[in-house]
Chains A and B, each alone.
Chain A
Amino acid sequence: MAKGYLALVLHGHLPFVRHPEHEDSFEESWLYQAITEVYVPLLLVLDSLVDDKVDFRLTFSLTPTLVSMLTDPFLQSRYLQRLERLIELSEKEVARTNWQPKFQALAAMYCKQFKGVRSAFLDRYNGNLVEAFRRLQELGKLEIIASAATHGYLPVLSIHPSAVRSQIQVGVEHYAATFGRKPNGFWLPECGYYPGVDQLLTDHAIRFTILETHGITRAQPRPRYGVHAPLRCPSGLAAFGRDPGSSRQVWSAAEGYPADHDYREFYRDIAHDLDFDSLRRYVHRDGLRINTGIKYYRITGKTESKQVYVPQQAEKKAETHAEHFLRSREGQIESLASVMDRKPILVAPYDAELFGHWWYEGPLWLNHMIRKLARDPSSIHLATLSEYLAECPALQPAAPPMCSWGRNGFNEVWLSPDNQWIYPHLYHAARVLERLEQECSRGDALTLRALDQAKRELLLAQSSDWAFMISTRTTSEYANTRIKGHLLNFNRLSDQVARSNIDEPWLAEVESRDCIFPADVLRPGTGSVLPSEMDKEEDSERSRKPLSA
């Protein structure tokens, strides 16, 4: 009998990066790297657990932007082209390192791995990774939770409740359209909570969310069990809190497992080590040395003189760390169970992209951890958050405060002197959209199309990723351009709607570029208008064509 539960939560998210206007897009490579290094490896681990009849539970959030990209035939096709080039590069590396056996073994490992990913992507998943996740949910192994439409940072958008409502409503509708059921849980982007958002989530029949530790510990009244039992927010929403111990062990770049010296060094990619001529065909067209995913060194320590990566050693370490993680959690649960009158829960949320991308051995660690838990008797069992609530539905009512999982725990990452300029425009656009939606809700098909596209543009401008990039000064120029581009499109569209003077050819162009969310997701219950019907036809056409490289 379990004395307590461990809920692993993986948050899968990438901003919407789709650039058909560029032959080679640097930003799209974020998606392609994540497919190769994260989503396919994780799915293969989870599928192998199912095949081996290992029982497990996992919570996964897949944001609408990520789902939209993973199901986009254009991006799927481009991904395969990119993967082919990567396989070609790895084959060349096998030949190039002929005189260096240690490096050649690694090159061969990558070559085999990339071919395995291609085979899984094409044959096992038929290009549709979302369907693979959905199937795991149907098997009861995975609970997929919803998230905001474009990962808008809700505490700062809350000045206009209509903006928050829109992020939540589109996120929930997109989930229902994708997974064929309504979500129980909702991942608040960046764990950004503010008093009042619980009611908006409850209005959409959401039952639970997850907060950073201090969102629970600083709730009013003081929680009796800290983060080890969820709270009942004023609206009735259950709020789970992140367990600081399990988070730090896996997550912390300084003291967490991924920093172990035997693990693969993320920053020593051959894109930066080899001469440019040998890489020309495999890096960005403009000469940008984008990471290839082929890395030969291990972390080694705080030194520039890195040692060669030894996969067997790293796998052994992943197994040791899995064992350590479990023993630590068991100790926690034993201690908590002795002072709690209900079964404690440890909620451990991580960015999914940590597993495989930043932490190459992350999927291995997960595999070992789940198998060990299933094999050895333990006081701790895996659970989804819905299962925990079904077993322990009596919650302490308390009101969590504003909080996030960003630096210092509040809003400063997404609202700083560097990125504050975004918000007056977002607030103004939210006001305009709200007014137009009231005035033009019974407009003709063309007006509704323009209004839908204006909504898409505003949602895309609201992504928390842009403010994050500006604040952390990583690809901030791209972030600036994206925000301004979407706001410009919004202004032009809203102006055309207000004047009943819609430029249809230009509208069609913008629709084809920023083609996220079909109309029936944007305006549920009103029936689809042109784009979604067209999308459906195109989709059925595409579904008849086999994916190929």
Chain B
Amino acid sequence: MMPIEVIEASLVSGGETTLVVVPVDPYVVYCQWEVATADIESAQRALGVGEQEFWPVLQFYDVTNAAREEAPRELSFAVEVQLQAGNWFVRSCAPDRAYRADLALKGEDGSFAVIASSNPIQTPPSVPSSYADEHWLPIRLDSRQPERATPVRSPTNLALEPPSGAPSESAASPVRLPIDMRKEVGSNTPEAPVPSQSPLPMDMREEVRKLLIQLYPELEGERRALPRSPLFTKEIPSECVFRELHAVFLDMKSSAIADLTERNERSFTSGISSRTK
């Protein structure tokens, strides 16, 4: 095996000017660049400055709301870097935002010349979304699914056959899913929303709301003014009303929707791993 130093010396890069940005977490991004000497000289000429009269910066643009890449960009923040370092971990980002970055040379008068532009990135969110928009679409499965060599009896774990004489599940549940299992993925045919399989109404919050409106009609106007929230309790407008409604809510808790996402998020611990080899 070749000595490590020899191997390192032999690894060469492309020699092209590039800037790559990769999100590390909701707040940190990794920037890596290579700059051809000719591009530095050209940026210097554009600025009209000498060798010691500029400093390199990474300029970050928040493009979260830009409909298209060509849309005007707003400088979010800039970080001074050392060009020779070749990479930088930038710790000034915000979660759930889209960014683009430029590597630029900045002159003393504030003017700058861009050397390289990055790929667009999206930082991940640090909390669950507050936007709830529930509808349901079928996933398509094809004939590969139950490909079994032996005629294993319908898996007992998922057995849907009722005991003889008992009504079948399809009879018990009048609504069946209109799913075309043979449909190919990528088909342009629009997919119809699929009704629930269960006799339970899909959105129990509506039922709860209706009942509450009957009980507290004066709240209806106030409730309508609030943005939609995934949590029924979060839609309650004030502390005093909260107490009154909370009692009703507790009475109805058996039928109310629990916020399972919030519950999962609270009990989630990242990075539990046995991989220590």
**CB < 8 Å: which of A155, A207, A248 contacts B269?**
A248
B interface: dominant SS? loop
Q: Is the CB of A415 within 8 A of B30?
A: yes
Q: List 29 A-B contacts (CB under 8 A).
A: A138-B148, A140-B150, A182-B144, A205-B185, A213-B264, A214-B270, A216-B261, A219-B129, A221-B132, A222-B128, A222-B132, A227-B260, A238-B139, A253-B274, A351-B273, A386-B145, A387-B158, A390-B158, A393-B177, A405-B272, A408-B25, A413-B271, A415-B24, A415-B30, A424-B32, A428-B13, A481-B4, A491-B11, A491-B12
Chain B: number of interface residues, binned into ranges: 35 or more
Contact indicator per residue, chain B 110-143, by CB within 8 Å of chain A (1) or not (0): 0000000001001011111111111111111110
Which residues of A, 402-451, contact B by the 8 Å Cβ criterion? Answer: 402-403, 405-413, 415, 417, 420, 423-425, 427-428, 431-432
Tell me, yes or no, whether B107 is within 8 Å of chain A by CB. no
Q: Is the CB of B157 within 8 A of A409?
A: no
Q: Which residue of A lies closest to B187 (CB)?
A: A236
Q: Is the CB of A386 within 8 A of B141?
A: yes
Q: Is the CB of B158 within 8 A of A381?
A: yes
Tell me, yes or no, whether A62 is within 8 Å of chain B by CB. no
**CB < 8 Å: which of B119, B131, B256, B268 contacts A220?**
B131
Tell me, yes or no, whether B86 is within 8 Å of chain A by CB. yes
Tell me, yes or no, whether B200 is within 8 Å of chain A by CB. yes
Q: How far is the CA of A277 from the CA of B47 in the complex (A)?
A: 72
Q: Is the CB of B137 within 8 A of A232?
A: yes
B187 to chain A, nearest CB (A): 10
Q: How far is the CA of A403 from the CA of B23 in the complex (A)?
A: 10
The size of the chain A interface, using a CB distance under 8 A, is 110
Say which one of A64-72, A163-171, A239-247, A300-308 lies at the interface with B: A239-247
Residues of B within 8 A of A409 (CB): 25, 270-271
Q: How far is the CA of A390 from the CA of B268 in the complex (A)?
A: 28
Say which one of B35-43, B70-78, B190-198, B238-246 lies at the interface with A: B190-198
Say which one of A39-47, A310-318, A333-341, A541-549 lies at the interface with B: A333-341
Say which one of A75-83, A322-330, A482-490 lies at the interface with B: A482-490
Tell me, yes or no, whether A299 is within 8 Å of chain B by CB. no
Known contacts A224-B134, A408-B25, A488-B10; decide if A213 and B268 are in contact (CB<8 Å).
yes
A191 to chain B, nearest CB (A): 11
Q: Is the CB of B257 within 8 A of A224?
A: yes
Residues of B within 8 A of A468 (CB): 275
Residues of B within 8 A of A394 (CB): 136-139, 177, 179, 194, 196-197
Contact indicator per residue, chain B 248-264, by CB within 8 Å of chain A (1) or not (0): 00000010111011111
Q: How far is the CA of A411 from the CA of B99 in the complex (A)?
A: 17
Tell me, yes or no, whether B155 is within 8 Å of chain A by CB. yes
Known contacts A241-B264, A244-B267, A481-B4; decide if A218 and B128 are in contact (CB<8 Å).
yes
Residues of B within 8 A of A412 (CB): 24-25, 28
